Amino acid sequence: MSETEWDVIVIGAGAVGENVAGRAAERGLSVVIVENELIGGECSYWACMPSKALLRSSSALRAARAVPGAREAVTGEVDVAAVFARRDSFTSGWDDSSQVEWLQSAGIDLVRGHARLAGERVVHVTSDDGAGRELTARHAVVVSTGSTAAMPDIPGLAEATPWTSREATSATSAPASLAIIGGGVVAAEMATAYTGLGSTVTLIARSGLLGSSEPFAGELVGSALTDAGATVLIGRSPVAVRRLSDESVEIDLDDGSTVSAAEVLVATGRSAHTADVGLETVGLTPGDWLPVDDTMLVEGFDWLYATGDVNHRALLTHQGKYQARAAGDVIAARALGSELSTEAWGTHVATADHAAVPQVTFTDPEVASVGLTAAAAEEAGLDIRVVDYDLGAVAGSSLHAEGYSGRARMVVDEARSVVVGATFVGPDVAELVHAATIAVVGEVPLSRLWHAVPAYPTINEVWLRLLETYGRPAQ
């Protein structure tokens, strides 16, 4: 490839970078994407897809055992080798050929290598063989490099060769025992997955489980993990880690106790993947998150954009793709001198990142939420009313599974009589969250939600029960 100049350069070919590139190319711009790993990125190979594949088989088995008639047909345990083989099918064996074909079909050029900013609209790429080349953007450079696992400063931890989310989702077998440091989504999901795969799991969560969710979410997930055989240690902190052998790690805790395991997984958050992308050449600090406006333009620039995890707005693939669509439209409109109007370009800005973000944690039970928690709404100064309902009391729940247990919460802004947050905890509640997302994003008045009649008998009937508990508002 002899080209050196494109309309748009995208650094990072994960799901978000691909969407920026695709959107800009659809609008008629020339686009090149630069990647030094696999095309498709974290979500395709080390996060969303492989993690959910590891979780699904055990989840399906638990679901079957919760329904009489199906329960009696279950004669064995999860086939662990088959679970890993299925996981491999979703990652295409860590082969990105199909993703490369998609780029080609979309008219997007690909340069493999490590990209670093080298000045205004200039990107230097170093290939694996050490060769370098310079790319220039006529209009925009988009940083979509994502995030990396944060490594806490615990004596001995780095030397103990711990797992991060990447090792957890790409492992070829389940360790006999696994200690997990952290209490967030990755920690809870991997505790669920490896407990289901037969590992003896110890979860060490200093500040509780799923701390950004409603408190009852972490409580219900923690209880379920304990019931499944995991050990959940809340309020404990590691103070030292020692690798004794290839299959033995010891973790000293602040209460004087010690946890032993074959492997240790660190799941204590994420860091911006910007340490070596040349931020210093344009006056930014390496390793920092990149703050942006709602069009994904980096503050202080008219050509530099940042989409996905790297801007620290919402570290979720679906929100990153949403940002990517916004950025691609805006870049094209600005490049082509068009008005930034919905009518002309379908252009939108990423306003949903602020208070309408949906998320599902695929634990058992699942946690599905959108918008603000009660605590976040109060912190934002809203006059709220919180409405809770027992999901197990809904007719569709008892049909779905014997002994169904769960909880739903609706957070209402009393001044506007609209839902600003909703959380569901229970088996298969992931399928409830989009209705809640529409209610929150659409700012649908409660008086109108009464006329969104849920089909009977489904778990969605919880919407009717939440509204009844709230009481019919004035028309």
End residue of a domain, out of 352, 374, 400: 352
Amino acid at 220: L
User: How many whole angstroms separate alpha carbon 146 and alpha carbon 144?
Assistant: 6
**Domain count within the chain:** 3
Element housing 437 (H / E)? helix 433-441
Whole-number mean pLDDT of the chain?
95
- 240 burial (CB, 10 Å; 0-12 / 13-18 / 19+) is middle
10 lies in the same domain as 134: yes
203 lies in the same domain as 251: yes
398 lies in the same domain as 320: no
Nearest CA to 364 among 191, 155, 197, 200?
191
Note whether residue 233 is domain-resident: yes
Note whether residue 197 is domain-resident: yes
For 319-338, what is the HEC assignment? Answer: HHHHHHHHHHHHHHHHHCCC
End residue of a domain, out of 217, 236, 268: 268
Domain boundaries, position 235: 158-268
133 lies in the same domain as 184: no
432 lies in the same domain as 309: no
15 lies in the same domain as 27: yes
For the segment 370-404, what is each residue's pLDDT rounded down to a tens digit?
A: 999 999 999 999 999 999 999 999 999 999 999 99
Indicate which CATH number applies to the domain containing 389. 3.30.390.30
| Residue 40: band (very low, low, confident or very high) from pLDDT cuts 50, 70, 90 | very high
User: How many whole angstroms separate alpha carbon 388 and alpha carbon 425?
Assistant: 11
For the segment 46-61, what is each residue's pLDDT rounded down to a tens digit?
A: 999 999 999 999 999 9
322 lies in the same domain as 180: no
Exposure string for 309-330, b = 16+ CB within 10 A, e = fewer: bbbbbbbbbebbbbbbbbbbbb
Note whether residue 58 is domain-resident: no
Which tokens belong to 405? 């247990």
Which residue bears the tokens 């920690």? 187
Note whether residue 340 is domain-resident: yes
Collapsing DSSP to helix, strand or coil, 288 comes out as coil
User: How many whole angstroms separate alpha carbon 128 and alpha carbon 126?
Assistant: 7
For 57-121, what is the HEC assignment? Answer: HHHHHHHHHCCCCCHHHCCCCCCHHHHHHHHHHHCHHHCCHHHHHHHHHCCCEEEECEEEECCCC
For the segment 245-303, what is each residue's pLDDT rounded down to a tens digit?
A: 999 999 999 999 999 999 999 999 999 999 999 999 999 999 999 999 999 999 999 99
Indicate which CATH number applies to the domain containing 120. 3.50.50.60
Q: What is the pLDDT of residue 297?
A: 96
Give Dmax (Cα) for the chain: 70
For the segment 83-140, what is each residue's pLDDT rounded down to a tens digit?
A: 999 999 999 999 999 999 999 999 999 999 999 999 999 999 999 999 999 999 999 9
143 lies in the same domain as 284: yes
User: How many whole angstroms separate alpha carbon 318 and alpha carbon 195?
Assistant: 27
Does residue 338 carry a pLDDT above 70?
no
132 lies in the same domain as 235: no
Element housing 226 (H / E)? helix 215-227
286 lies in the same domain as 395: no
End residue of a domain, out of 218, 250, 268: 268
370, β-bridge pairs: 358, 422
199 lies in the same domain as 249: yes
Alpha helix (H) ranges present in 255-386?
317-335, 342-345, 352-355, 374-379
Note whether residue 78 is domain-resident: no
In this structure, the dihedral spanned by the alpha carbons of residues 465, 59, 194 and 357, taken in order and rounded to 10 degrees, is -40
User: How many whole angstroms separate alpha carbon 286 and alpha carbon 273?
Assistant: 9
205 lies in the same domain as 345: no
What share of the chain has pLDDT > 70, as a percent? 97
